[in-house]
């Protein structure tokens, strides 16, 4: 009997479960198509619960539960049972191999004492990590021939121009004094009011380019928010450059 070929698009919780149950039929040939990582999209970002303790004694110790768990984070609690009045530690381990791109990754995990406990800033653990190029295998020769980035400034003050204008631009010069090409692999901004434009992302030795920074006053928002730009390069001495903007 010829098997029926079934294709399932999407390797999340729904797609994989459907594929499993269909594969139990002898006359079904099932293929799950996933463009990235199985369970790595919406499923990885959905709320999850890790119950470390028995609910029966919840008034005598914490029933630690974790919400908002990303697939690249692992949590461990020590001790496993946290008695009333005692202290414990939470260990968060990030698997950098699961991060898809250089730069800053931010997320939060939330601790609660029991099922149904509210999730708020009071029990939030912010987690952030900056993924940089790996220079651990560089030889002494590689270091001598590495690119060397020079930047005209990393702190710019646009507060005075923004008093009279709704939109202000500022140019920053970037040069490579090294012996191999400088690669600017990532530019990250963290506020919608900040715009960046880079003419070249690869600079040959003795090459130069301009980074144009634009601030739109109407989108700036709360002045307490820190405006910055994060740049990732292949310069082993300056793989991470942070440009701070005062407005």
Give the tens place of pLDDT for each residue, 91-101. 888 888 888 88
SS3 of 124, please?
strand
pLDDT number for residue 194: 92
Which portions of the chain are predicted below pLDDT 50?
A: 45-59
Q: Are 39 and 13 in contact (CB under 8 A)?
A: yes
**Residue 69 per-residue DSSP state:** -
pLDDT number for residue 55: 45
Q: How many CA atoms lie within 13 A of 45 on its CB side?
A: 5
pLDDT number for residue 56: 43
- Report residue 220 as tokens: 């700036």
CB-based contacts of 142: which residues, under 8 Å, 6+ apart? none
Residue 218 phi, psi dihedral angles, 5° rounding: -70, -20
SS3 of 22, please?
helix
Give the tens place of pLDDT for each residue, 178-220. 999 999 999 999 888 899 999 899 999 999 999 999 998 776 6
SS3 of 244, please?
strand
pTM above 0.75, yes or no: no
Strands 240-246 and 155-157, by their bridges, are parallel
């Amino acid at each position: 009997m010829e098997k029926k070929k079934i294709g399932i698009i999407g390797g999340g919780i729904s797609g994989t479960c459907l594929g499993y149950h269909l594969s139990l039929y002898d006359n079904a040939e099932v293929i799950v198509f996933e463009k990235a990582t199985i369970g790595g999209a919406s499923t990885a970002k959905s709320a999850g619960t890790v119950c470390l303790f028995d609910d029966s004694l919840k008034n005598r110790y914490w029933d630690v539960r974790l919400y908002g768990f990303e697939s690249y984070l692992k949590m461990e609690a020590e001790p496993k049972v946290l008695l009333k009045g005692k202290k414990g530690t939470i260990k968060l381990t990030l698997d950098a191999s699961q991060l898809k791109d250089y730069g800053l990754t931010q997320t939060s995990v939330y601790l609660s004492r029991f099922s149904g406990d509210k999730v708020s800033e009071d029990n939030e653990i912010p987690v952030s990590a900056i993924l940089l190029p790996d220079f651990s295998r560089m030889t002494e020769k590689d270091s001598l021939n590495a690119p060397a980035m020079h930047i005209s400034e990393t702190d710019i003050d646009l507060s005075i121009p923004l008093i009279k204008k709704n939109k202000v631009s500022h140019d920053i010069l970037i040069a490579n004094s090294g012996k191999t090409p400088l690669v600017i692999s990532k530019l990250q901004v963290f506020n919608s009011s900040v715009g960046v434009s880079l003419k070249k992302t690869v600079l040959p030795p003795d090459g130069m380019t301009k980074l144009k920074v634009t601030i739109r006053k109407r989108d700036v928002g709360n002045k307490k928010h820190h405006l910055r730009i994060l740049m990732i390069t292949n310069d082993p001495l300056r793989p991470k450059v942070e440009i701070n903007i005062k407005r």
